[in-house]
Structure 1
Amino acid sequence: MFFLKDLPSAEMIEGVTANVPEVSPPRVLSVLTRLRAASVLMRDGEAYLRGHGLSQTQFLALMMIMREPERTSLSAVEIATRLDVSKPVLSKVLASLIDKGLIAPAAKQPADRRQKQLCLTAEGTRRFADILPGYFRILHAADL
C-alpha cells in the first residue's frame, strides 16, 4: 500500500531534485500519482472482496485454480509459485478456503502426497463466478 494521501507539488519535487540531474521531477510526480491510484484501487478491491467474505489472497488463490483451462486442480506448490506469498501464509489461506467449503482435495490425487491436488468445490466455483464480474468492474474503473 502507498499511504501518501496528499502528493507533493511539482515545485517541491523540483526543489528537492534541483541538484540531481538524472531525476526528472515530472516523472517522479507521475510515478507518485500512479502509486496513489494503485493504492486506492487495492483498497477498493479489498473492500469489495471483504464484502463477499474473502481476502485478496483467498480470492487470488481461487483465481489461480480457475484460470488453468486444461486443469481443474493445482497443488499448493503450484499455487505458491503463482502468488507472491510465503508458504506459511498460503497454508493458512488454503486452510481457510477449505473451511469455507470453497476448495477441497481433488478426487484424483498423484502418488506423491506432497503434490496433493486442490480444486474448487461447486460452491467455490459459484462464488467465484458471482464475484469476478464486480471485481473486473472495479479494475475497469481504475484511474491508472
Structure 2
Amino acid sequence: MTTDLPRLEISTILGSAHDDLHDAVHALEHRGRVEWIDIPQADAARKRLRATTDKRRDCLIALPRSATLVDGAVLHMTDDLAVVLRVDSGARLVLVPHDLQSALRLGHWCGNLHWKVDFGPGSMTVLLDGPEERYRERLRDLETLAGFHIREESAEEAEA
C-alpha cells in the first residue's frame, strides 16, 4: 500500500525516547505526531534496513558502524514529527513502584539479581531471560519490603 507521506532517509540516532529526548517525544505524542517503527530483536544489529512506520511512512535506515539500534532510539525529530524505534526483545514484566522508597528498593533488588531493566516514567520494564514464573517468584520475596505491582498487558497492548 502506498502513502503520500514523504520517505525518510535516516543516517543517525538522535537520542533516546526513554532518556534525553523523553519530554520532547512525549509532547509530540500528545499531539499525535509520533510514528513508530517496530523491528524484531534480530534486526537490531543491522546497520542498513528499510522499514515502515505505523503510519505507513517508508524509511531507509543507513547507520554508521558505531551506531546501535535500541528500543526507544529516536531516528527523526522535527517540531512536528518524531520517529521512534521499538525493538521487540521478547517477554517482559512492567513493574510499577507505589512510592519513591519502593522504587529504590525495587531498583536495587533487580540490580542485585543482574536483571536487564529499562526505566520509563513511573515504571521499570524487566526483560525476561527465562521463564516468567521464575521472575515472579523472586519478586514475591520483595513484596514485604516494597510496594509495587506488575502491570498486566491489556489485549490492545499485546497486539501493538
TM-score, normalised to structure 1's length?
0.24
Larger % of helix: which?
1
**Scaled by the length of structure 2, what TM-score is found?**
0.23
Structure that is richer in strand per residue: 2
